[in-house]
């Protein structure tokens, strides 16, 4: 588990109050939430320090009046990947602007004990709501076992009957990538897919299939990968491309590996084969060649997620799904095929 982030708190922070009062930040949070197991002497001391330090008085007043901490607990599944990390940063930025704090808890694999511990730690800290950045089916299966009664939203591309959800339209992003290749004249387009337990990987693979069907083309080769550049490298270096003239990789890291592997074989991108990625990493324009890719607007995603969270906190009962549209960024890794 990661330690709670303090970047979402205004200065002075909850940690400053805790140090001045000689207590933990969790104790300060419990005082703000009128937790019954706080000693009266401790409560009085913490409240006096808050007053002395002029610690976000309007937020404290609202918290004490509504029994809300103005804090969001974020559970992150797969934090090492670009999407979950970027989503967390965008949510923190949006939350900070709205006067909310974010406490983040992460796990890099679907472990029931770790998910349970993350939920319990978030609840102990007195959060108003949970936001689950859950790219895998397994993490949601674990979440369904929890009974916190907290408003919960899930960041994923597909709508859910159980929770508020928000996500980038992954399927449309894949369709944009494949339509671009089809428009250039490619007829056999391979897909280097992400792990099948990941929602985004499944949606991108489905978008690839739909765009090919829309163009009246048969499905090209599809290889299930692991999101890593090393897998992409081995694919590019060893895979028998046959009639394939373009590769749509499910993320930019794999696309980078593919380009490297093809280069080692003397296969030129885009002269001999075109490559498209997904995510638009900050370095994607510096690949050789600069990478054509699908951009996810994480700032819009974070803002939309915060709106859903606040609505859920304020009592929005019916699950709702908000969709963020992706955009295609055309660079130099794609061109018309020399052969069809």
Question: First and final CA of the chain: distance in angstroms?
Answer: 51
Token reading at 195? 């792990």
Least confident interval from 4-13, 207-216, 320-329: 4-13
Domain 14-150: homologous superfamily in CATH: lambda repressor-like DNA-binding domains (1.10.260.40)
What are 164-202's pLDDT values in tens digits?
889 999 999 999 999 999 999 999 999 999 999 888 999
The larger pLDDT score, comparing residue 115 to residue 107, is at 107
**Residue 201 Cα distances to 4, 54, 286, angstroms:** 29, 47, 25
DSSP tag of 76: E
Least confident interval from 83-92, 135-144, 255-264, 301-310: 135-144
The larger pLDDT score, comparing residue 52 to residue 265, is at 265
pLDDT band, residue 253 (cuts 50/70/90): very high
CATH annotation of 170-296: 3.40.50.2300
Check: CB of residue 233 under 8 Å from CB of residue 260: yes
Question: Which stretches within 144-285 are classed as H helix?
Answer: 170-184, 199-214, 229-238, 252-264
In a 13 Å sphere around the CA of 132, the CA atoms on its Cβ side amount to: 28
* Whole-angstrom distance, CA of residue 90 vs CA of residue 13: 20
Name, in order, each residue with C-beta under 8 angstroms of 327's C-beta and a sequence gap of 6 or more.
Answer: 176, 294, 295, 297
DSSP tag of 4: P
Strand partners for 167: 323
What are 292-324's pLDDT values in tens digits?
999 999 989 988 998 888 888 877 767 788 999
| pLDDT of 8 | 38
Nearest Cα to Cα of residue 75 among 35, 38, 45, 117: 117
Are the folds of 14-150 and 170-296 the same?
A: no
**Residue count (the chain):** 340
* Whole-angstrom distance, CA of residue 55 vs CA of residue 31: 14
Q: Is 102 helix (H, G, I), strand (E, B) or coil?
A: strand
3-state helix, strand, coil in the chain (%, to 5): 45, 15, 40
Q: Is 28 helix (H, G, I), strand (E, B) or coil?
A: helix
What are 117-166's pLDDT values in tens digits?
556 666 666 788 888 886 677 667 666 665 567 788 888 888 887 788 89
| pLDDT of 140 | 72
- pLDDT(23) > 50: yes
* Phi–psi pair at 336, nearest 5 degrees: -65, 145
Domain layout of the chain by residue ranges: 14-150, 170-296
């Amino acid at each position: 588990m990661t330690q709670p982030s303090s970047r979402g708190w205004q200065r002075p922070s909850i940690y400053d109050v805790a140090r001045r009062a000689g207590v933990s930040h969790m104790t300060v949070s419990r005082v703000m939430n009128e937790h019954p197991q706080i000693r009266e002497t401790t409560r009085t001391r913490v409240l006096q320090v808050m007053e002395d330090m002029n610690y976000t008085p309007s937020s404290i007043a609202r918290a004490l009046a509504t029994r809300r901490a103005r804090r969001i607990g974020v559970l992150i599944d797969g934090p090492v990947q670009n999407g979950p990390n970027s989503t967390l940063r965008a949510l923190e930025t949006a939350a900070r602007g709205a006067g909310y704090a974010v406490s983040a808890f992460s796990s890099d694999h679907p472990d029931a004990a770790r998910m349970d511990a993350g939920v319990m730690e978030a609840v102990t800290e007195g959060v108003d709501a949970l936001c689950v950045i859950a790219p895998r089916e397994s993490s949601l299966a674990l979440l369904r076992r929890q009974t916190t009664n907290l408003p919960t939203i899930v960041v994923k591309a597909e709508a859910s009957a159980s929770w508020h959800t928000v996500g980038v339209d992954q399927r449309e992003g894949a369709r944009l990538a494949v339509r671009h290749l089809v428009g250039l004249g490619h007829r056999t387009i391979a897909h280097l897919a992400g792990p099948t337990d990941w929602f985004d990987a499944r949606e991108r693979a489905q978008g690839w299939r739909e765009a090919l069907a829309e163009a009246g083309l048969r499905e090209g080769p599809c290889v299930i990968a692991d999101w890593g550049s090393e897998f992409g490298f081995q694919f590019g270096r060893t895979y028998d491309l046959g009639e394939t003239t373009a590769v749509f990789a499910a993320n930019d890291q794999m696309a980078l590996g593919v380009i490297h592997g093809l280069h080692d074989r003397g296969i030129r991108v885009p002269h001999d084969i075109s490559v498209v990625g997904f995510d638009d990493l900050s370095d994607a324009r510096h690949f050789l060649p600069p990478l054509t890719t699908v951009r996810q607007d994480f700032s819009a995603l974070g803002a939309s997620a915060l709106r859903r969270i606040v609505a859920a906190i304020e009592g929005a009962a019916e699950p709702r799904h908000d969709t963020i549209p992706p955009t295609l960024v055309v660079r130099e890794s794609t061109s018309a095929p020399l052969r069809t």
